[in-house]
């Protein structure tokens, strides 16, 4: 164990934040898992605790392994991974399965090991790395909109089109994050306006085709409509039920909460260990626990910005922001849904919610950020190890 800690590189505060989030997640997940254990499970809540522990253990192993890879290698790996991600997404569209009551086919089963994997989360990380790579290549170059369509935007729109039928919220988040990254990368604003227009047109056409031919296009248009209507006028009974129970949980928590494991709404709130775990956390740990969690994510965002600012290359800056910003953005959306500031989306709370794919891909992204910061640390150590010429001269004199 001592050897592992000695080999840890990169921003130590990011390591600490990730560890705090993981440690904090155990009790809420164990508490909320009772809903799953007694409604379709085997009645053993401890098995969910062990499962969550294994997901986190593997996630941190991924984080450790990835942070040892020089981040410049991710530039080439993104090109290799884009076709692989496209194949996985096509397989998901054709053979996707439903997991733990979720009413969308977003997962594929991994043969032999008996595990499921949500391909859209991997696609998100790979796509952000790919976009960062392209933006770093055209830095300080004058490019036309036509030149960027095929190498930059074609992979983006193809991936989004494959994710959209089953998962609108993830599609929207990825699109927004790509637009933000391209803006920060210096992509011309007038071109971004055109891309936003194309995205809106594409979404409109998809909705019209799906409504006209529902038997051809497997989609969740009706679910999207009901959730938006529920958010504005309360017409979706399922979404209203979830939000109502979440608000009851939050109101019951008060300032200090009812105590670990004492949540009542976990027995009634669907997806209490994943999508709505923030409501359970506030019920059990109060406003203090909720604010502590929010501050951890904001602290993570601050450290990501610091890593990006200190990176030794433009690609490193974009890479850290590109894979790090979606983590915090997703966390804020999850919290906003629980307090009814946002329509129900089905987004998990990174490193807190149960679910292997979400944890693994979050750890993958954090590992990439740590790789960027490790390079800066390596350069700084090399500079410190070099002898100062002035000191040598003074010793000679």
| Tens digits of residue pLDDT in 147-200 | 999 999 999 999 999 998 888 889 999 999 999 999 999 999 999 999 999 999
Length of the chain, in residues: 397
pLDDT higher than 60, residue 376: yes
Top mean pLDDT of 42-56, 78-92, 94-108 is at 78-92
Top mean pLDDT of 47-51, 131-135, 266-270 is at 131-135
Question: Lowest mean pLDDT: which of 157-161, 228-232, 252-256, 360-364?
Answer: 228-232
> What span, in angstroms and rounded, lies between the C-alpha atoms of 390 and 388?
5
Q: How many CA atoms lie within 13 A of 73 on its CB side?
A: 8
Q: Which residues pair with 108 in a beta bridge?
A: 117
pLDDT higher than 60, residue 99: no
Domain ranges of the chain: 2-375
Task: Render the burial of 89-117: b for 16+ CB within 10 Å, e for the rest.
Answer: beebbeebeebeebebbbbbeeeeeeebb
Q: What integer pLDDT is reported at residue 225 of this predicted model?
A: 66
Name the one residue in this structure whose structure tokens are 């989030």: 21
Token pair for 148: 């960027």
pTM for this predicted structure: 0.89
Q: Cβ distance 311 to 375 under 8 Å?
A: yes
Q: What integer pLDDT is reported at residue 298 of this predicted model?
A: 96
């Amino acid at each position: 164990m001592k050897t592992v800690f000695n080999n840890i590189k990169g921003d130590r505060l990011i390591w600490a934040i990730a560890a705090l989030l993981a440690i904090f997640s155990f009790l809420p997940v164990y508490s909320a898992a009772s809903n799953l254990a007694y409604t379709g499970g085997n009645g053993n809540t401890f098995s969910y605790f062990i499962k969550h522990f294994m997901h986190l253990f593997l996630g941190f192993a991924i984080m450790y392994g990835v942070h040892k890879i020089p981040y410049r290698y991710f530039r080439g790996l993104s090109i290799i991974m884009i076709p692989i991600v496209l194949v996985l997404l096509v397989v998901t569209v054709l053979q996707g399965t439903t997991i733990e009551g979720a009413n969308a086919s977003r997962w594929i089963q991994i043969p032999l090991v008996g595990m499921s994997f949500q391909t859209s989360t991997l696609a998100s990380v790979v796509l952000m790395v790919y976009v960062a790579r392209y933006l770093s290549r055209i830095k300080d170059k004058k490019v036309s909109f036509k030149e960027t369509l095929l190498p930059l935007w074609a992979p983006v729109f193809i991936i989004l089109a494959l994710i959209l039928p089953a998962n609108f919220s993830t599609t929207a988040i990825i699109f927004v994050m790509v637009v933000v990254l391209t803006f920060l990368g210096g992509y011309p604003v007038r071109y971004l306006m055109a891309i936003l227009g194309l995205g809106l047109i594409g979404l409109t056409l998809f909705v019209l085709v799906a409504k006209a031919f529902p038997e051809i296009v497997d989609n969740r248009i009706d679910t999207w409509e009901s959730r938006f209507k529920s958010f504005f006028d309360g017409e979706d009974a399922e979404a209203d039920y979830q939000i109502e129970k979440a608000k009851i949980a939050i109101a019951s928590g008060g300032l200090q909460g009812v105590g670990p494991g004492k949540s009542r709404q976990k027995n009634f709130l669907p997806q209490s260990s994943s999508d709505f775990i923030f409501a359970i956390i506030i019920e059990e740990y109060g406003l203090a626990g909720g604010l502590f969690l929010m501050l951890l994510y904001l602290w993570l965002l601050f450290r990501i910005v610091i890593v990006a600012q200190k990176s030794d290359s433009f690609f490193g800056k974009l890479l850290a922001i590109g894979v790090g910003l979606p983590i915090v953005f997703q966390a804020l959306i999850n919290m906003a849904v629980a307090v009814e500031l946002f329509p129900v989306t089905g987004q998990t709370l990174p490193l807190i919610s149960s679910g292997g794919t979400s944890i693994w891909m979050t750890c993958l992204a954090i590992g990439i950020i740590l790789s960027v910061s490790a390079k800066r640390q390596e350069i700084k150590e090399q500079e410190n190890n070099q002898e100062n010429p002035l000191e040598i001269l003074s010793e000679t004199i």
